[in-house]
Structure 1
Amino acid sequence: MLSYWVSIIMGIVEGLTEFLPVSSTGHMILAQALLGIPEDDAVMKTFEVVIQLGAILAVVVIYWNRILLLFGLKKDTSRVGKRKLNLIHIIIGILPAGIVGLLFNHWIEEKLFSPKTVLLSLVVGGVMFIIAEKTTKRPTAENLDEITYRQAFYIGLYQILAVVWPGFSRSGATIAGGMLSGVSRGAAADFTFILAIPLMFAASALSLLKAYKLLTPDMLGFFVVGFIVSFIVALLAVVTFIKLVSRIPLTYFAYYRFVLAILFAIYIFMS
């Protein structure tokens, strides 16, 4: 059942959807169903964590220079005298979702990870995208370095939606939340990708600690292939999205989510 083709397909799905506002959780559940893999398959759950790490690594590569700036490992003379994005913004942005995730992680996984929950979150998230696009006026933060601490905190609060509601889409919640907080779509997307690094590393590490025994030598090739595919596809997906995000409204992603919700409804009805 868990062949290299499954590894490649799931790696592609993860890489394409993890950082786009379309719900990677929803796509992974649908992909598993189409491949005939049970939702509670323990090996697949560990595999999903591994390929998620591949997607995170892609973001680290893309934002490497910005990461060096954040930690003071690289000087930036181009923004002298201007407000700059710093580690305080990152801490403020990840704190709300991080606290909620730590306190309620087990309960969320046990009670909320279901196709019906994802179905509803796809629709509600899509509605939120449309509201963000329709109500957002001229942003006060056009780029990363203009984001205020207050805006970083608001984005962190919106990110809780994705933590407690599987299928909502972390990137979608933070981009839409950023726009509703006065941040441009492009800057909100950049901030979302940077916030993803510590949050997803922490969540993945926690999951791996719980299931490290499943990382057996005979499954090594399966995990490695998925990791590499996820990394490469995520790299291409994020670079492409960064180029298009300033021109593509979230409304289009909302419509896509509605179509995916219909597919989910069909899947639930036929299960």
Structure 2
Amino acid sequence: MPILKVIVLAIVQGLAELLPVSSSAHVVVAEKLMGLDPSSPQMTLLLVMLHTGTMFAVIAYFWNQWKRTYFASSDAFKRFAIRVIWATLLTGIIGVILQKAIEKTVFKGAPKAQIEDLFSHLELIAPALLAAGVLILIAGLMERRLAAAQQKFYGDSVTMRQAGWMGFVQGLCLPFRGFSRSGATISTGMLTGASKERAERFSFALAVVLTPPVVAREALRLLKASHEAAAAGTPIDLHGSVVTSLLGAVFAFFAGLVALRWLSAWLEAGRWYLFGIYCVVASVAVFYLHHIGY
């Protein structure tokens, strides 16, 4: 793939990652507009590696906050670790169940079909964006009321109940590009009584934990596709795909750092519901792109 396209996708990913507007949906739409196949193993690996780049940007940006809260003491870290494990366990259970259900219903009779085959369908990305937008709108419009009723408890992490709901919703996000993971989990945290700051901090921590196994899964998928393509006489440039993905991750890291530095303040100072409005408008735009043939 041309380096210029990789750079464009990395910048799109980096700019959209912090905001609850589904960075992966923006990358998939950009891929479609550039004539690329988002469902191919090379493209899904690139997408995951772009997320990896911005994951490291998130770690670099939030590290001091996490040290002050999650690593302030052994007791604070223990509470945080238990909540992360609980939320990630629920994410895995819900994500696997949902993936298997989709593969056995939507892809019934297609033995080689995979959940990634959905990633090129704008007609699915659009309603996912709409669903995320509605959830963000509800949390945003109730933000002041929720702030007045927020729970007071010992520590700076979310409660087990809040972590559980955030993990559950994160599992629902896994199969669908457009259903913003950060938007859905932060909104869920707010709706269950967490402050936006706590929900945001915990949501990004969950993303850091979730990314490595997803990267490993996509790397194995690409390796399997490479073997199948070689057996069919149409080999995939495995080395080129990996190098391109790593290059994209580097660009996404720097784009993410730039975006985080000037977007974070705007995110916290702004009104949460505005991101919901954006997702709803974006869903209409994606529906239109699907209508005209993308």
**Which bin holds the TM-score, normalised by the shorter protein?**
0.7 to 0.9
Change (3 A) 1:149 1:264: same
Q: What SS is found at the alignment partner of 1:86?
A: helix
Corresponding residue pairs, total = 265
Residues 215 and 95 from structure 1, CA distance in 2 versus in 1: closer, same or farther, beyond 3 angstroms? farther
Change (3 A) 1:204 1:220: closer
Residue 119 of structure 1: CA displacement? 0.5
2:215 aligned with 1:204, yes or no? yes
Is structure 2 residue 175 aligned with structure 1 residue 181? no
Matching of residue 56 in structure 1 with residue 78 in structure 2: no
**Range 148-157 or range 169-178, more displaced:** 148-157
In the aligned structure 1, how far is the partner of 2:242 from the partner of 2:208? 24
Does the 8 A contact of 2:39 with 2:118 survive in 1?
no
How far off is 1:102 after superposition? 3.5
Q: Work out whether 1:26 is the aligned partner of 2:13.
A: no
Question: Contact 2:6 / 2:248 at 8 angstroms: preserved in 1?
Answer: yes
Are the counterparts in 1 of residues 20 and 182 from structure 2 also a CA contact under 8 Å? yes
Offset at 1:134? 2.2
- Per the alignment, residue 268 of structure 1 pairs with 290
Q: Is the Cα–Cα contact under 8 Å of residues 144 and 190 in structure 1 kept in the other structure?
A: no
Q: Is the 8 A contact 1:17 1:24 kept in 2?
A: yes
CA RMSD of aligned residues (A): 3.0
Asked if the contact 1:25/1:166 (under 8 Å) is kept, the reply is yes
Q: Secondary structure in 1 aligned to 2:269?
A: coil
Distance in 1 between residues matched to 2:80 and 2:27, nearest whole Å: 33
- 5+ residue gaps, structure 2, are 104-113, 227-235
Aligned to 1:5: 4
> Given that residues 41 and 221 in structure 2 are in contact (C-alpha distance below 8 angstroms), is that contact kept between their aligned partners in structure 1?
no
* Contact 2:186–2:203 (CA under 8 A) maintained in structure 1: yes
State the 1:236 CA deviation. 2.7
Q: Is the 8 A contact 1:144 1:191 kept in 2?
A: no
Letter in 1 for 2:278: Y
Q: Which residue of 2 aligns with 1:128?
A: 135
CA drift of 1:83 comes to 9.9
* TM-score, L = length of structure 1: 0.85
Match of 2:276 among 247, 250, 254: 254
How far did 1:26 drift? 1.7
Distance 2:240 2:179 in 1: 35
Indicate how the Cα distance of structure 1 residues 115 and 141 shifts in structure 2: closer, same or farther if over 3 A, else same. Answer: farther
Counterpart check, 1:169 vs 2:180: yes
In the alignment, the residues of structure 1 paired with residue 38 and residue 164 of structure 2 have an alpha-carbon distance, to the nearest angstrom, of: 34
* Unmatched 5+ stretches in structure 1: none
Shift of 1:255: 1.5
Tell me the alpha carbon deviations over residues 75-134 of structure 1, each in whole angstroms, 9 at most, x when there is no partner.
Answer: x36xx9989852011112222112222444463715743211110111121111111122
User: Is 1:178–1:188's contact at 8 Å kept on the other side of the alignment?
Assistant: yes
Judged with a 3 Å threshold, the aligned counterparts in structure 2 of structure 1 residues 132 and 68 are, in CA distance, closer, same or farther, namely closer
Question: Take 1:25 and 1:236, find their aligned partners in 2: how far apart are those partners?
Answer: 18
Is 1:236 matched up with 2:258?
A: yes
Find the counterpart in structure 2 of residue 140 from structure 1: 151
**Percent same amino acid at aligned positions?**
28
